[in-house]
Amino acid sequence: MVQKTDWIWLNGKFVKWEDANIHVLSHALHYGTSVFEGIRCYETPKGPMVLRLKDHIQRLYNSAKIYRMELPWTIDEYCELCLEVIRRNKMKACYIRPVVYRGYGEVGVNPFGCPVESAIAVWDWGAYLGPEALAKGVDVCVSSWNRMAPNTLPTMAKCAANYMNSQLIKMEAILAGYAEGIALDVNGHVSEGSGENLFLVRNNIVFTPSIANAILPGITRDGVLTLLEKEFKMEVRHQAIMREMLYIADELFFTGTAAEVTPIASVDKIQIGAGKRGPVTEKLQTRYLQIVTGKAPDIYGWLTPVEK
């Protein structure tokens, strides 16, 4: 269950958590017309820090632009609103959920008669795939549900409608006894998890699906690529990945704001590597968490302080 906090920012003002309501006929409820972000704030020795705040809000605005939703705030102003929500709730660490949506106006497919509204909430959220997942890895399956085909729904937009597809992947995996599912794209190539990007290590080369494989351009994915290429000096290939490559990988891992860097222990009951976190994943996970928690210098400028 979501652990409630005190305040939510809603359409330009702060309201109590229990008063942050929208009309039952809001367009977003009926047609999925909302875009959102998931952002983490970490507790560090220098106080709470938000990871890649401006990058996340830029992606939020990109998603809104694709769906022709205009916002009256600049990106910098919206970033400051996110920080103020954290301050109002006195959070040392939290998950941040900004959402932009079409509200109550007309009840038809045409969204233009409905106002563009926005909210920002924060709450405490631990390890997304479970507290032991970061060390032991998770068991996953290849889903029977594919990601969206090109020119159907834009996968570069983090839109609520896309996550109906994610829910089908996730529910199927859970009911089959797995922690997560991996989706293929319309051509049968590996795409991503229900809410995570995917990396594969084989013969000391790192493979990851390209943007053309119907993936969301992940912010954590971008950070991991930076570490792999600049610090670990590993070869990274952005390419189509065949399903069978998953089974013969030395290591597999998910990345995402919620998942962070989570190793994959098995796919379709086929053990990956030693069936636990591999050396590249462990090294990457350690380095990533050191930076985001302030235990190592923020040499990439990823962290934004909450306190002024």
Residue pair 140/180 in contact (Cβ under 8 Å)? The answer is yes
Topology at the third CATH level for domain 7-123:
D-amino Acid Aminotransferase; Chain A, domain 1 (3.30.470)
Tokens 């694709």, located at residue = 66
Q: pLDDT for 61-78, tens place per residue?
A: 999 999 999 999 999 999
What integer is the mean pLDDT of 220-233? 98
3.20.10.10, 2.60.120.380, 3.40.50.2300, 1.10.1200.10: which CATH number matches 133-292? 3.20.10.10
The 3-state DSSP class for residue 28 equals: helix
Question: Higher pLDDT residue, 117 or 3?
Answer: 117
pLDDT of residue 131: 67
What integer is the mean pLDDT of 275-286? 96
What are the boundaries of each domain within the chain?
A: 7-123, 133-292
Q: What residues does 304 pair with on adjacent strands?
A: 50
Nearest Cα neighbor of 231 from 299, 295, 161, 136 is 299
pLDDT of residue 125: 84
What integer is the mean pLDDT of 94-105? 97
Fold: same for 7-123 and 133-292 = no
| Confidence (pTM) | 0.95
What phi, psi does 184 have (nearest 5°)? -95, 160
Average pLDDT, the chain: 96
Give me the catalytic one of 158, 230, 233, 269.
158
pLDDT of residue 128: 62
> In angstroms, how far is CA 272 from the centroid of its own chain?
24
pLDDT of residue 134: 85
In this structure, the number of other CB atoms found within 10 A of the CB of residue 116 comes to: 19
Establish whether 46 is a catalytic residue: no
The tokens describing 258, both together, are 């919620």
- Given a cut of 70, whether residue 279 has pLDDT beyond it is yes
d(CA 91, CA 51): 14
